[in-house]
A and B are shown apart, each in its own frame.
Chain A
Amino acid sequence: MFQVRFHGRGGQGVVTAAELLASAAFREDRYAQAFPSFGSERMGAPVMSFCRIDDKPIRTREPVTEPDALLIQDPTLLHQAGLLHGLRPDGYVLVNSGRDVDDIGLAEFAARHRGHLLTVPATSLALANLGRPLPGAPMLGGLAALTRGEQTVGLDALLAAITDRFGDRPRVAAGNSAAARAAFDFVTGELDELKAVTHHA
């Protein structure tokens, strides 16, 4: 089972992101469970959502406490104590930021988890492709690239899920898809660079 925990603020599409990931996994004929940290919904409050992916039916209902991947859609949440709590030893962290991991206070963590902690400018990519600061789709594109060996979801399944979800609004679907693809390419590029650096080290 692969477990993802999303962190964001109300209004940033954290729940939709978890559902899209589940939907993509479903398209690849896998079982998926997506649910929010439930609460009185209000804009701007810190929220979490969860997604589990597995090849067999998922029975458990507890929150994800030992995520394999953390998607942090709002970097201002990094100050929250316990944000990275429970992350598996070789888990993945993807942070929505235009800055480098060193610049957001995660240098030490990045060093210990080389290739597993990255930043991706998801909001910028969303603004460029969709016209709105909704980082969910690009974050997922980034996740797909980051965890390519871990069988989360493939880019194609993700794009199909996005198209399906926003089927009644073709421009929104296209914008989100483009942002996801751009983030996928961005993260792929980052990983390639890291590999190159490693080889040269």
Chain B
Amino acid sequence: MPYQRIKFYQTGSFAAGNRLLPADLRSVQSSATRANTLTCGHRACQGCGEALGARYALDAVMRATKGKLIAVNATGCLEVFSTPFPETSWQIAWLHSLFGNAPAVATGVAAALKAMGRGDIRVVGQGGDGGTVDIGMACLSGMFERNDDVLYICYDNQAYMNTGVQRSGATPPAARTATTPAEGPEPGNTFGQGKNVPLIAMAHEIPYVATATVADLRDLEYKATRAMDFHGARYLHILVPCPLGWGSSPADTIKVARLAVESALFPVFEAEAGEVVSATPIRRQMPVTDYLRLQARYAHLFRPEERTDVIARIQASADRNVSRFGLLQDHHPERTRLALNGHLPAEGR
């Protein structure tokens, strides 16, 4: 397996962890020749998951492409905080066009490079959940369908954060946003809505689809690097907590992301050509309340009274992910793959 089987949970720097790892498994950040695609000085909020995720993802891609990289960014938090005119945090060739067209613009860049005989330069398109899941969906699907040679990365903080925390197609049920307020008999976002873009990407049968979070940066780097092994359309969906929009402590960003994974609300997996090839198992399933309690966007589920009915529905969706992705299997990739793709009877899980 390309990522380590034993996880080192620790506070502070990864320095101790790196010393114990073989060289080829060490983080990009520990390399003397590391890239620095998104340098310091940007205007992201304290504890911004997206700034962390983007930096790690692009540094990994930068390493994989030996610096031959062009990035296309959708409008959103990342674009706004990284380019406060006249400054830019980007150390790479970078283009921002519109909100809904990043996949198409990336396609254009890739086509141009091909036409000019510069297929050695690789292209990344990136944006938040708003620009990917909603307004960018048509362009994204077009890019997938044509199998254009672009790696598209979605930094999912589950709402339109840049414009003031409005609900998107990636907002989870019951979450409070500015347009799904915590009021009335069914506070927060409506159950039964939302899109699962990783599954949509898989339905296009593109070469590589993967999910990751900022809680496991090695895994994120691995997936970004792995994606660059392929040519054609690739999709990476990264969960990036937003302290402002989620109402969590900036110091808890990584912890919240980890709990999203360990509660099974956010399954971490890889797929190739429409079939799951690996899923990260959960060591011990945490109750969703551990995750929800850390975020003010779910505060209405606990105060003035605990909404056990709503929490139960959230728990049910987490449990469904466990069985659907085989997250509590003894780690057995083949069983996981077969289970997820419907080849094993339900009882076997």
Quick check: do A and B touch in the complex, using CB within 8 A? no
